Amino acid sequence: MLPFSTTIVLSLIEYFCVIVLHVIYALGHYGVESALWAALGFIPILLTVLLFRLSTKEAVIVRAFYISMLIASYLISWKIQTLGMLIMVYFAGALMIALHSNRKLMLEYSIVSSVIIIVMAIFQMDTIDKVCPSQLYYIYMILYAFGMVTLVFMASGIKNYKQKMEEKNEEAQNALEAKSNFLANMSHEIRTPMNAICGMAQLLSERDLGAEESEYIETIQKSSESLLSIINEILDFSKIDSGKMEINEEEYHFNSLIHDVLSIIEFRLKDKSVKLITEINPNIPRVLIGDELRIRQILINLLNNAVNFTHRGSITLKIVWVARDDDKGVLEVEVKDTGIGISEENMGKLFKAFGQIDTRKNRNVEGTGLGLAISKNLLELMGGSIWATSVPDFGSTFSFSLPQKVKDKRPSNYKNDHNIVVRQNDEFKISFKAPTARVMIVDDNKVNLLVAYEIMKRFGFEATTIDNGAEALNRIEEHLITYDIIFMDHMMPFMDGVETTEKIRALDSQYAKEIPIVALTANAIKGVERQFKEAGMNDYLSKPIHVDQLNEVLKRWLPIEKQVRIVDGEEMKPMPSSAEKTREQREEDVLFGLKGVNMETGIRNCGGNRNVYIRILQTFSSSNLHSGLETYYEASDWNNYEVIAHSIKGACRNIGAEDIAEKAYQLELAGKRGDDKFIRANHHDFLDEYRELISTITKAIIEFNRPNG
């Protein structure tokens, strides 16, 4: 349907032409005075334009137009004696109302205009007879009546059709929304098991396995990466298709981008007899502004296509810079290969969704057929364009141009020899360890927890794992242990990661408001990043977890004084913090790592009061219960032995030493039933552990009480 503004413009143009003809007629037959009288017909036009600018009510604008038009047209026709032709003018006006597709307004207009025409036939037939015979006027009236009835039905039909189109459009929007929701859920549901597969395969690849087993693991890893690539392409295409793809322009280093891309392609080419050639203009600015992620994706798509369809010869990446002014320019990129080429009839299928050409010949080529379509759409979103040329059996050339802004115009001087590109296909080496870091992982999936826990062990710490948001909130609210960072799963039942984060940030605690929270998400749909930030999350890490990405996140958010740098395989001592540690930090540094003691449980047993817990530890360290236990053991006095074992059990449970408390409980039960055989078999080992625990706690208390600094 035509927009209302278009309908108004067309109607005004039509009526304007009618008035101009009347003015010309009046000027030629009756002189200037009549012509000026006819010019009054322009008043409805001016009134309508004014109302269109001041009012948003369409019915008001239409009524003002047709009423003023009916009056003005009648007065003009009466003045220049053209009343016999007035029916034609009224019918032309009716078309505008019909185009507006409002049945009520059309009916109003039909009644008002018909009344005017009938009244004229009754009282002004003499005047009409001067220009139009009465019989002809009556015929006009009958035709006008039929025309009005037709236009009323037409307006009704148009309105019904418009309503149906709106319903269809609403259904289409609902379907699009349902598709987006489906893809969001599928993204999460597919990536969750993929996280387990990729994570476990990565952990297995680090073990000492035989050649055959290592080959199996490598196959799993490659297949997982391939599947993830396909999932990402489908999700990207869906985002573009629904108009939800966003372009994020940020500063990026050109050389870093090219190194990343070529390292991936080098890995793809390692088993092929194909040479990779780079011809990169050294004058390309060092730092540009654009969407680095999407540019990398486009380059990898084009180069991957070249790798897939080139079995001998070479692949050439050529990049030049065309400067527009000091802070703008265009990247001109060309990917040329000596592959199988593309026939002329297949060229039209390029850049179309699911348009992988000549599928029988290329059945062994993996992919969705979406890569070029996605690249084209991404380039258009960024203001660029893409095209291709090809000669069958001789190769293809894909070219694109992309405007970019300049941040640092110093030349990048990228070396043409691709052999200097840093190879990144070897196993990623972590850049630091953080053995004293305190990390919480929240995820309702136990496999995901295990994968994340095992991967993070590579950084020297053992994370606390929580399987629901409510428990995570409870631990932060009680403030029993000060965590350095929280990894929060996005989709969890009852209380998801976003809601949990919002509730943590709402707590009346500076610690709760400042602790870094990183979303751990399998959801790759656009919009979730903004949702995470709005909820108060600091960063996000996508599943499957990649060690290099985890390395960057931990390095960014863990306290610098807890990071032990690794340089050339050697651990470097952390730089001492210039600021004095708070009492709370010193408590945790000294007491958190006590072997056999769960500090969090101990503080909870003390009602969340750290000071009480410290005093209980001090009392525990000065305990002499082990001497009494030994005395009653030597005397085989099992009744008193049971009493002492009961006291030790209670003391150990109070401080969170659950393992030793359980052993004391078993000895207590044995004393109660007089089971000297069990006591004699376990007493000495238990006493050694108990004394070791007292010694450990005593040393920690001494360290804690030592002056700070």
* Distance in angstroms between the alpha carbons of the first and the last residue of the chain: 78
CATH number at residue 526: 3.40.50.2300
Domain presence at residue 578: no
Asked if 54 and 157 sit in the same domain, the reply is: yes
DSSP secondary structure, 602-624, as one string:
HHHHTTT-HHHHHHHHHHHHT--
Structure tokens at 158: 């148009």
Q: Please state whether 315 falls in left (phi above 0), alpha (psi between -120 and 50) or beta.
A: beta
- As a whole-number percent, the residues of the chain with pLDDT over 70 amount to 82
Asked if 231 and 149 sit in the same domain, the reply is: yes
In the three-class reduction of DSSP (H, G, I as helix; E, B as strand; rest coil), residue 274 is classed as: strand
Structure tokens at 59: 């019915």
Domain presence at residue 426: no
Domain presence at residue 425: no
Question: Which H or E run includes 46?
Answer: helix 42-54
Number of domains forming the structure of the chain:
4
Tell me how far apart the alpha carbons of residues 109 and 97 are, in angstroms, rounded to a whole number. 8
Domain presence at residue 684: yes
Asked if 268 and 384 sit in the same domain, the reply is: yes
Domain presence at residue 577: no
Q: Which among 571, 596, 623 is the end of a domain?
A: 571
- What is the structure's pLDDT at 49? 87
- What is the structure's pLDDT at 232? 65
Asked if 468 and 547 sit in the same domain, the reply is: yes
Asked if 278 and 240 sit in the same domain, the reply is: no
- What is the structure's pLDDT at 244? 59
Q: Which among 188, 214, 244 is the end of a domain?
A: 244
The set of residues, in sequence order, having a beta carbon less than 8 Å from that of 358 and lying 6+ positions away, is 343, 346
Q: Domain containing 101: what range?
A: 1-244
Tell me how far apart the alpha carbons of residues 555 and 168 are, in angstroms, rounded to a whole number. 51
Asked if 93 and 238 sit in the same domain, the reply is: yes
Task: Report, in angstroms and rounded to the nearest whole number, the Rg of the chain calculated over CA atoms.
Answer: 41
Asked if 461 and 501 sit in the same domain, the reply is: yes
- What is the structure's pLDDT at 30? 84
- What is the structure's pLDDT at 650? 86
Please classify residue 23 by burial: count the beta carbons closer than 10 Å to its beta carbon, then call 0-12 exposed, 13-18 middle and 19+ buried: buried
- What is the structure's pLDDT at 569? 61
- Amino acid identity, residue 140? Y
Low-confidence residues in the chain, pLDDT < 70:
1-2, 96-101, 155, 176, 179-181, 183-189, 191-192, 195, 222, 225-226, 228-246, 267, 352-370, 415-428, 522-528, 567-593, 607-609, 704-709
Domain presence at residue 576: no
Tell me how far apart the alpha carbons of residues 545 and 191 are, in angstroms, rounded to a whole number. 10
DSSP secondary structure, 398-453, as one string:
EEEEEEEEEEEEEE----S-GGGSPP--SPPPPSEE-TT--EEEE-S-HHHHHHHH
Q: Which among 380, 396, 420 is the end of a domain?
A: 420
Domain presence at residue 153: yes
Question: Which H or E run includes 372?
Answer: helix 371-381
Segment 252-293, tens digit of pLDDT: 888 878 877 887 787 678 778 888 998 998 889 988 999 887
- What is the structure's pLDDT at 501? 92
Asked if 548 and 663 sit in the same domain, the reply is: no
The set of residues, in sequence order, having a beta carbon less than 8 Å from that of 290 and lying 6+ positions away, is 249, 250, 252, 382, 402, 404, 405
Asked if 138 and 5 sit in the same domain, the reply is: yes
- Amino acid identity, residue 633? Y
Asked if 482 and 588 sit in the same domain, the reply is: no
In the three-class reduction of DSSP (H, G, I as helix; E, B as strand; rest coil), residue 539 is classed as: strand
- What is the structure's pLDDT at 486? 95
Asked if 414 and 496 sit in the same domain, the reply is: no
- What is the structure's pLDDT at 189? 67
Global confidence as pTM: 0.41
Asked if 627 and 691 sit in the same domain, the reply is: yes
Helix-then-strand count for the chain, H and E: 26, 15
Domain presence at residue 329: yes
CATH number at residue 257: 3.30.565.10
The set of residues, in sequence order, having a beta carbon less than 8 Å from that of 286 and lying 6+ positions away, is 253, 254, 255, 408, 409, 410, 411, 412
Segment 564-575, tens digit of pLDDT: 877 656 666 554
Look-up of token digits 């009134």: 47
